[in-house]
Amino acid sequence: MTEKLDLTQEGLTKADALDLLRQMWEIRMFENRVYDLLGRNVIKGASHLYAGQEAVAVGAISALHDDDLITSTHRGHGHCHARGAALAGTEDERVEHYNKMLAELCGRLTGYCLGRGGSMHIADVEKGNLGATGIVGGNIPVATGAGLAQQMLKSGRVVLCFFGDGASNTGNFHESLNLASRWCLPVVYVVENNLYGMSVPFCNTSALLDIADRACAYGMQHAVVDGMDVMAVRRTVGEAVERAREGGGPTLIEAKTYRYYGHSRSDPRAYRTKEEEGEWRDRDAIETFAGRLVESGICTQEEIDALEAKLEAQIDEAQEFALSSPFPDPKDLDKFVYAPFHWTEEDYARERRLRQLCREGGPGTHEVRYNQALVEAAREEMLRDERVFIMGEDVGLYGGAYGATRGLFQEFGFERVKDTPISEATIAGSAVGAAMCGLRPVAEIMYVDFTPLAMDQIANQGAKNRFMFGGKTIVPMVIRTEGGAGRSIAAHHSQSLEALWTHFPGIYVAMPATPFDAKGLLKAAIRDDNPVMFIEHKMLYNEQGYVPDDDYIIPYGVADVKREGSDVTVVSYSRMVLRALEAAERLAEEGISVEVVDLRTLKPLDMDTVAASVRKTGRVVGVTEAYKTGSFINELAMRIQEEVFDWLDAPVVRVAAADVPVPMSEPLEDACIPSVERIMDGIRQVLA
């Protein structure tokens, strides 16, 4: 005989209790059907089934308010279902929700993500489900940023972050819990300890028995709960959620649970015994709860049986809906990669006018250094739009490693200028989460060499969430960073890694060479609805130049012909533009007329301006400070060949850094990257 259930004490009606049972059953039936459809190859790809763990998602999500938020995992069907089901007001809405889930797994246009995400990336951002991720632990920083946004917006909302025991061994977990605890963020982290990370028992990967104990290291509230008991989960999560809502900070809750199927369908489950599986099935969450409802006199066995029969029909209907739905049209392949964000014709025209004005300066302009231009840009945007804030290492009192946030902390305080722990992944991931929740973060990663530490968060979450979630979100964040050689600080602080960032669809890349470009491009990046990787150059921060006194932006994808010429085109960006201009000046004395095109943004790429210049000169030299192998200039050369091959009088020449880690010693460092002389040699070569 199980303990009698007192619904009044739980704050539930009979209908509420039956709803929880129904949700768990819906998940179980859904997963059983998915298992079957996977086996018949009707559902393609990987699906990690949630059967066995139903009480965790259903109990935890039942403790949320309607406008609270969740983030989910590769094993996310249960989370998605419970969130949608809790919000569905009518029978029709419930059925629609169920149908859309199965349609998404079947890759159909009627699915939640329009077939772009599938099982591992299912999301319903409109209903506060900020999405699942195929990267273990990848959602934890995003949830943390979503919590930061709720705190900054004073929304009173709480974020529930689900993840597995395996994910609790990732750096994301530790970085995020540390930050969330110190900043007292309204996030409840629910670790679903189903004992295994794929095949490896959690106890083989950690000296601590209870994952919840890890919270002690971060001064965080924590609890362990029976994940097979929906009421216990609901109570424990409920307390944590209300504490977070009241400003009491985050909690780590460990739900002890079990997945009935293997990790994925191909898993033979050789790492666990039939006896172990049987013991957990004996404690099945659905049967136990149904039994308690009957034994406590809350409902009859007949009512339970009738509910089960109805749900059988519902899953058949969902399958029928999914399989009769159309697939997405391949002609819409690139839909949702970038948020449509249109600069006006007046923006383009005004920028051209101001660009001319600022070449020489004069009335309506003032002279600034490159780093001051960046401060002006951020300051103006922060004054213009209260959603804009800055976060990163030493961006506060220190003013940024290169002075590009100097004075902003003094003016805006910690509310808007946040010094973070040295936690690159969580800096970037928090920016993703905050951006998805309506803020406009400008996150600084001190050196571009450190951006690989945050690569998953920027490239897999930030750049892809809009696309993978069917265009239902935007991620308007800017990652400010700097790169380049010149200060004898060797290859961990001197590289030019922009090619990495141009590789991923879904993120723009800017590399300004002048104060005018730096200010106008940063302001535009902050206003853009897409993620932007904004890469400054450490040797440009003290460069002087003119900027307009008035507000202006530089639309993305507009190159600047910084010097006109007729014999040869040099295409470059960032610091190498200045060296190219010097080379052009010196070659002019030899009667060679060089046109210098500064791309300003590598993505989007202004091929129109490049092509127009190639048609004029017939000869191109690409100059970059990046390693020669795989540099962005290689991509540019290919685009030139594809688009204006007939106008070329000679093969494209590239002048790039040596394929050598940037050395510390000055003569070696100088030899590593293109000098003015090497650029001049390249120009002579293409003319020969």
| Shortest Å distance, C-beta 200 to ligand TPP | 8
d(CA 532, CA 64): 33
| Shortest Å distance, C-beta 135 to ligand TPP | 5
| Shortest Å distance, C-beta 189 to ligand TPP | 13
| Shortest Å distance, C-beta 73 to ligand TPP | 6
d(CA 14, CA 124): 28
CA pseudo-torsion sign 359, 360, 364, 365: positive
Do 605 and 619 contact (CB within 8 A), yes or no? no
| Shortest Å distance, C-beta 170 to ligand TPP | 7
**What is the Rg, in whole angstroms, of the alpha carbon atoms belonging to the chain?**
28
Task: Give the burial string for 585-620 (b: 16+ CB within 10 Å, else e).
Answer: ebbeeeebebbbbbbbbbbbbbbebbbbbbebbbbb
Instruction: Give how many residues touch ligand TPP by CB under 6 A.
Output: 15
Return the residue of 57, 123, 135, 522 that touches ligand TPP, per CB under 6 A: 135
Whichever of 162 and 336 has its CB closer to ligand TPP, that residue is: 162
List Cβ neighbours of 391 (8 Å cut-off, separation of 6 or more). 417, 418, 420, 427, 430, 431, 441, 442, 443, 444
Interaction between residue 422 and ligand TPP (CB under 6 A): no
Do 430 and 144 contact (CB within 8 A), yes or no? yes
Interaction between residue 141 and ligand TPP (CB under 6 A): no
Interaction between residue 448 and ligand TPP (CB under 6 A): no
Do 208 and 169 contact (CB within 8 A), yes or no? no
Return the residue of 51, 82, 136, 558 that touches ligand TPP, per CB under 6 A: 136
Whichever of 77 and 562 has its CB closer to ligand TPP, that residue is: 77
Per CB under 6 A, the segment of 25-33, 37-45, 103-111, 164-172 that binds ligand TPP is 164-172
The pairing of strands 187-193 and 251-256 is parallel
Owner of token pair 């919000």 = 87
Q: Pattern of binders to ligand TPP over 4-43, x per CB under 6 A?
A: ----------------------------------------
Helix, strand, coil abundance in the chain, percent, nearest 5? 45, 15, 40
Per CB under 6 A, the segment of 129-137, 374-382, 462-470, 669-677 that binds ligand TPP is 129-137
Interaction between residue 167 and ligand TPP (CB under 6 A): yes
CB count within 10 Å of CB 273 equals: 10
Q: Is 18 helix (H, G, I), strand (E, B) or coil?
A: helix
Interaction between residue 140 and ligand TPP (CB under 6 A): no
| Shortest Å distance, C-beta 449 to ligand TPP | 22
Q: Pattern of binders to ligand TPP over 242-281, x per CB under 6 A?
A: ---------------------x------------------
Do 473 and 437 contact (CB within 8 A), yes or no? no
d(CA 41, CA 171): 35
The pairing of strands 560-563 and 594-598 is antiparallel
Return the residue of 107, 166, 328, 682 that touches ligand TPP, per CB under 6 A: 166
Return the amino acid letter for 232: A
Specify the long-range contacts of residues 395-400, CB closer than 8 Å, at least 24 apart: 395/419, 395/420, 395/444, 400/371, 400/444
Strand order across the beta sheet in which 508-510 lies: 417-419, 388-392, 440-444, 478-483, 532-537, 508-510, 601-603
| Shortest Å distance, C-beta 140 to ligand TPP | 11
Interaction between residue 48 and ligand TPP (CB under 6 A): yes
Catalytic residues, by residue number, are: 493
Question: Which residue of the chain is nearest ligand TPP when measured via CB?
Answer: 164
- Please name the helix (run of DSSP H) or strand (run of DSSP E) that holds residue 653, with its range, or none: strand 653-657
Per CB under 6 A, the segment of 14-22, 132-140, 343-351, 513-521 that binds ligand TPP is 132-140
Per CB under 6 A, the segment of 9-17, 102-110, 162-170, 389-397 that binds ligand TPP is 162-170
Do 485 and 494 contact (CB within 8 A), yes or no? yes
Whichever of 164 and 249 has its CB closer to ligand TPP, that residue is: 164
Specify the long-range contacts of residues 90-99, CB closer than 8 Å, at least 24 apart: 95/314, 95/317, 95/318, 98/26, 98/30, 98/314, 98/315, 98/318, 99/317, 99/318, 99/321, 99/322
Whichever of 263 and 480 has its CB closer to ligand TPP, that residue is: 263
| Shortest Å distance, C-beta 136 to ligand TPP | 4
Interaction between residue 517 and ligand TPP (CB under 6 A): no
Q: Pattern of binders to ligand TPP over 452-471, x per CB under 6 A?
A: --------------------
The CA–CA distances, whole Å, from 295 to 4, 16, 120, 174, 612 equal: 7, 17, 38, 43, 81
Per CB under 6 A, the segment of 33-41, 165-173, 392-400, 618-626 that binds ligand TPP is 165-173
Owner of token pair 């739900």 = 255
Q: Which of residues 193-222 bind ligand TPP (CB under 6 A)?
A: 194, 196-198
Whichever of 47 and 574 has its CB closer to ligand TPP, that residue is: 47
Whichever of 107 and 197 has its CB closer to ligand TPP, that residue is: 197
Question: 553 is written with which tokens?
Answer: 């932006």
- Please name the helix (run of DSSP H) or strand (run of DSSP E) that holds residue 676, with its range, or none: helix 676-687
d(CA 143, CA 190): 11
Q: Pattern of binders to ligand TPP over 70-99, x per CB under 6 A?
A: ----xx------------------------
| Shortest Å distance, C-beta 186 to ligand TPP | 23
Whichever of 464 and 600 has its CB closer to ligand TPP, that residue is: 464
Interaction between residue 349 and ligand TPP (CB under 6 A): no
Interaction between residue 164 and ligand TPP (CB under 6 A): yes
Interaction between residue 515 and ligand TPP (CB under 6 A): no
| Shortest Å distance, C-beta 342 to ligand TPP | 36
Interaction between residue 654 and ligand TPP (CB under 6 A): no
Do 47 and 265 contact (CB within 8 A), yes or no? yes
Give me the residues that bind ligand TPP (CB under 6 A), please: 48, 74-75, 134-136, 164-167, 194, 196-198, 263
